[in-house]
């Protein structure tokens, strides 16, 4: 993970759906399958499914004993609202320390391998850095990272920690990044390469747009996601892009999701790709893409369809 000495698998099992669209039995099966496939990196957050995701992961870890926990790199996050009190959110020292203790209890472990600031906050970043420093010194956190930070946010955090506060620097940034959402290549990726931070892309299928379910001339199924006006508009607007990428994948004898995953696996600024499966089939697609090595001709075609640094079907960043 960049400047961190720890090594992680190219796939990170995202636990966002655990306790939601994936019940506990399915979640346990996905974790077992992941470990069997060599995945050693799990990511969750205290706000996922209102803490249930952490609880499911904690019960599974406990059932497997110390050997199960010790082989994994465990990541969770802090920022989101987890209570009714005015201070039950954000990146203040008070909230970070309390949220860390609560996550440790739910995860039934004595340390968090990667503790991530889920969003940027109005709190002075020095306070956040010092809180992370204290948790690292206490052994409750081993490394810390960020999520959804812009390049200047990460720059300020890194340089203050390293050059002013003599504190641990963030080692990862979890950001939206996919074949059709490449805006992070403009500023964030160059920063990561220069300062040893590594990306953990979330939404590698861009909210399902690269799932392979959408083709020209094929009716769009009536699902909750497809009923979203914003989703349908961007989908319809960029169907030509999705269709071109689908055909490129088929030329290689692969599926569109496998092309999307392979593209991210190949990026030097990426440490691991967060895959958030609801079913075993979703996880299998990410695993099958591990041996899909993109040649120069394929990369050139991808760049012609979606030029580096552009985001043709991403809204809201």
Q: Which of 97, 95, 101, 100 is nearest to 83 (CA)?
A: 95
Topology of domain 11-208+254-296 in CATH is TIM Barrel (3.20.20)
Task: Reply yes or no on whether the pLDDT at 314 is more than 70.
Answer: no
Helix/strand/coil for 216: coil
Q: Which residues does the annotation mark as catalytic?
A: 48
Helix/strand/coil for 205: coil
C-beta of residue 77 within 8 angstroms of C-beta of residue 115: yes
CA 103 – CA 114 distance, rounded (Å) = 12
Is residue 313 very low, low, confident or very high in pLDDT (cuts 50, 70, 90)?
Answer: low
pLDDT at 237: 82
Per-residue model confidence as pLDDT tens digits over 263-279: 999 999 999 999 999 99
Percent of the chain with pLDDT over 90: 89
pLDDT at 236: 83
State both tokens at 100: 């860390």
Q: Which residues of 180-219 are buried (b: 16+ CB within 10 A; e: fewer)?
A: bbbbbbeebbebbeebebbbbbbbbbbbbbbbbbbeeeee
Q: What is the DSSP string of 32-94?
A: HHHHHTT--EEE--TTGGGGHHHHHHHHHHHHHHHHHHHT-EEEEEE-S--SSSTTSSSS-HH
Per-residue model confidence as pLDDT tens digits over 146-204: 999 999 999 999 999 999 999 999 999 999 999 999 999 999 999 999 999 999 999 99
State both tokens at 268: 């030097």
The whole-number average pLDDT for the span 235-244 is 90
């Amino acid at each position: 993970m960049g400047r961190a000495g720890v090594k992680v698998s190219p796939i990170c099992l995202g636990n966002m759906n655990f306790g939601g669209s994936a019940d506990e039995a399915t979640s346990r099966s996905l974790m077992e399958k992941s470990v069997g496939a060599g995945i050693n990196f799990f990511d969750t957050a205290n706000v996922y499914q209102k803490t249930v995701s952490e609880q499911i992961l904690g019960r599974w870890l406990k059932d497997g004993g110390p050997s199960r926990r010790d082989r994994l790199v465990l990541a969770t996050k802090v920022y989101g609202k987890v209570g009714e009190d005015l201070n039950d959110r954000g990146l203040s020292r008070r909230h970070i320390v309390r949220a860390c203790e609560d996550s440790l209890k739910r995860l039934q472990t004595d340390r968090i391998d990667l503790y991530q600031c889920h969003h940027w906050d109005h709190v002075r970043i020095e306070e956040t850095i010092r809180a992370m420093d204290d948790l690292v010194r206490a052994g409750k956190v081993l490394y810390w990272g960020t999520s959804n930070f812009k390049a200047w946010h990460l720059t300020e955090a890194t340089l203050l920690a390293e050059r002013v506060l003599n504190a641990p620097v963030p080692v990862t940034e979890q950001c939206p990044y996919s074949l059709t959402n490449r805006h992070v290549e403009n500023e964030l990726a160059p920063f990561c390469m220069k300062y040893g931070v590594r990306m953990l892309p979330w939404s590698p299928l861009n909210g399902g747009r690269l799932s392979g379910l959408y083709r020209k001339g094929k009716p769009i199924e009536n699902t909750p996601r497809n009923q979203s006006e914003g989703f349908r508009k961007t989908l319809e607007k960029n169907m030509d892009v999705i269709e071109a990428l689908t055909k490129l994948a088929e030329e290689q004898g692969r599926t569109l999701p496998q092309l999307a995953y392979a593209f991210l696996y190949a990026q030097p600024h990426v440490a691991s790709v967060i895959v958030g499966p609801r079913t075993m089939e979703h996880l299998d697609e990410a695993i099958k893409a591990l041996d899909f090595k993109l040649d120069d001709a394929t990369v050139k075609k991808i760049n012609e369809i979606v030029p580096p640094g552009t985001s043709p079907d991403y809204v809201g960043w």
